[in-house]
Amino acid sequence: MREILVAGNWKMNGSNAANMELVAGIVAGVPEGEGFSLLVCPPYPYLSAVVAEAEGSAVKVGAQSVSEHESGAYTGEVAPAMLKDIGCEYVIVGHSERRALYGESSFQVAAKFQAAQVAGLTPILCVGETLEEREDGATERVVDFQLNAVFDAAGIGSFENAVIAYEPVWAIGTGMTATPEQAQEVHKHIRSQLAARDANIAEQVQILYGGSMKGENAAGLLAMPDIDGGLIGGASLKANDFLAIAAAAAQV
Ligand code: 13P
């Protein structure tokens, strides 16, 4: 059985005080139960302090992005080994905001994915279509293109230590959640793409859903056979909202 992963992407939010309060609240409220884990991804400046606060708890820590380079003259960038060095276990790569606002190509995302793994981090690879692409019937083609860049660069074996997040762009921050059936359809497709390359790996990979997930809709999404957790933006910014999703995960 795949574990459920409930991951909070805090994006560019909070302050030292607010983010410490947030992680402390989450650590204090981890629901009883098994078969799920929690992850928070704060902005870079707060990572070390959040790692320290979460130490010894069931809450893991990841970053929201990473350089594809190992070290050197890349002003403003953060190397994968640096994230590992300060206690991060995961890193999000290819979030649609990075792709759309900062021009990250699927090839650059694949390079980040590989670099993260080399440093011992677990990449969370985000894929997903825009509303226009969905309306054009291009959802699978778009997702396949994003996945293929990583299959080509890193190989199917690399998914032994990776998570995929399906985040339909039209559902991010809009309050428009994909229905459990809509999400399941794409998750199943993603797993079939993995299975075409390696059936065992396909069975192991956690595929998270992201896009306006919250306490009220989490149970329905998590009940789907190929939805193995969530990557949560807005509802990860208040401990109680995030813990409501964690509680749904604890009951699956
Ligand atoms: P929302 O949960 O705010 O829609 O954001 C989803 C997301 O982008 C997580 O990475």
What ligand 1 atom has the least distance to the C-alpha of 214?
2
Q: Is the C-beta atom of 173 inside 6 A of ligand 1?
A: yes
Confidence band for 177, pLDDT divided at 50, 70 and 90 = confident
- Is there an atom of ligand 1 within 6 Å of 233 CB? yes
Asked if the model's pLDDT at residue 38 lies above 90, the reply is yes
> Is the CB of 95 inside a 6 Å radius of any atom of ligand 1?
yes
pLDDT tens profile 55-87: 999 999 999 999 999 999 999 999 999 999 999
Average pLDDT taken over every residue of the chain: 97
pLDDT for 87 equals: 98
Could you tell me the pLDDT band of residue 176, with boundaries at 50, 70 and 90?
A: confident
Q: Please give the full DSSP string across 213-242, using - where no structure is assigned.
A: --HHHHHHHHTSTT--EEEESGGGSSHHHH
pLDDT of residue 35: 93
**Percentage above 70 pLDDT, the chain:** 100
pLDDT at 173 (0 to 100): 87
Atom 1 of ligand 1, residue of closest alpha carbon: 233
Mean pLDDT across 26-47 = 96
pLDDT recorded at residue 119:
98
Its pTM stands at 0.97
- Closest ligand 1 atom to residue 212 Cα is 4
103-131 average pLDDT score: 98
The residue-averaged pLDDT of 164-180 equals: 92
- In DSSP notation, 9-58 reads E--S---HHHHHHHHHHHHHTPPS-SSEEEEEE--GGGHHHHHHHHTTSS
Place of tokens 């390696």: 198
Contact of 106 with 146, CB cutoff 8 Å: yes
Angle at 6 between CA 48 and CA 105, to 5 degrees: 75
* 59 CA → ligand 1 middle, Å: 19
